[in-house]
Amino acid sequence: MSYRFLRPALFLAPLLLAGQAFAQSAPNNAQEPQPSVTEKYGDWQVICRIARNAERSAQLCALTQQKDSAKGQRMLVTELRPNREGVDGILVLPFGVAVTKPISLQIDKRSLENRPFHTCIPQGCVVPVEFVGDVFKQLQRGGRLTVTTPVANGETASESLSLKGFSKAYDRAKELTKPL
């Protein structure tokens, strides 16, 4: 698996990890990136922001979904960006996971390849993901993406993401991602 997408994904992560309220509140700091587009499709959200460097600007968009516990603790953040063959991006899980062991993924009842942790950032521990080909098609048709994570006490924890609205969110994020 290529990690070419990790740097852009981490570039968007601070914006996306702040949650939906961040996109609607006034900025506390002029340096914080503000979304140029925020739209909801089923259980998925499309968030875009303008990225600039010395040579060019682009609007970068991601499909996101966040799962919180009943107590409001962030349990899983998913950020996926369209690529030529599907999507790539990151899953961010809370501290306390066993980062030396991989996570397992399932779309509905079909198991996918296990994925290793890459690093931990202040928001949690990062697992790079890429869904292309048949796996991407299953995401588009599926009902749930389940992430099972080994935790530090030797047990496992599972979180399921709804795939309702995934295809429409993907299409919209792909349409909006463009050079400016």
Q: CATH number, domain at 169?
A: 2.60.40.1880
Q: Is residue 65 part of a domain?
A: yes
Q: Does residue 67 lie in a domain region?
A: yes
Q: What pLDDT does residue 34 have?
A: 67
Side-chain half-sphere CA neighbours of 41 within 13 A: 19
Nearest Cα neighbor of 4 from 121, 79, 83 is 83
**Helix (H/G/I), strand (E/B), else coil: 53:** coil
Q: What is this structure's pTM?
A: 0.80
Per residue of the chain (180 residues), what is the pLDDT tens digit? Answer: 444 444 444 444 544 444 433 333 344 444 555 678 999 999 999 999 998 888 888 899 999 999 999 999 999 999 999 999 999 999 999 999 999 999 999 999 999 999 999 999 999 999 999 999 999 999 999 999 999 999 988 899 999 999 999 999 999 999 999 887
Q: What is the dihedral of CA 86, 159, 95, 43, to 10 degrees?
A: 60
pLDDT at 28: 46
36 within some domain: yes
* Number of residues in the chain: 180
Cα distance between residue 135 and residue 37, in whole Å: 28
Domain that holds residue 28: 6-179
Which backbone phi and psi does 158 adopt, to 5 degrees? -120, 140
Confidence at residue 31, expressed as pLDDT on a 0 to 100 scale = 54
Is there a domain that residue 57 lies in?
Answer: yes
Alpha carbon distances (Å) from 143 to 78, 165, 167? 16, 10, 11
Q: Residue 1 domain-assigned?
A: no
Contact (CB, 8 A) for 66 and 74: yes
Using CA atoms, how far apart are residues 151 and 85, in angstroms rounded to an integer?
A: 32
Q: What is the pLDDT of residue 54?
A: 80
Q: How many domains does the chain have?
A: 1
**Residue 105, domain member (yes or no):** yes
Q: What is the pLDDT of residue 32?
A: 52
Residue 156 domain-assigned? Answer: yes
Judge whether 5 and 12 are in contact, CB under 8 Å.
no
Position 173 in a domain: yes
Question: CA 91 to CA 157: how far, in whole Å?
Answer: 14
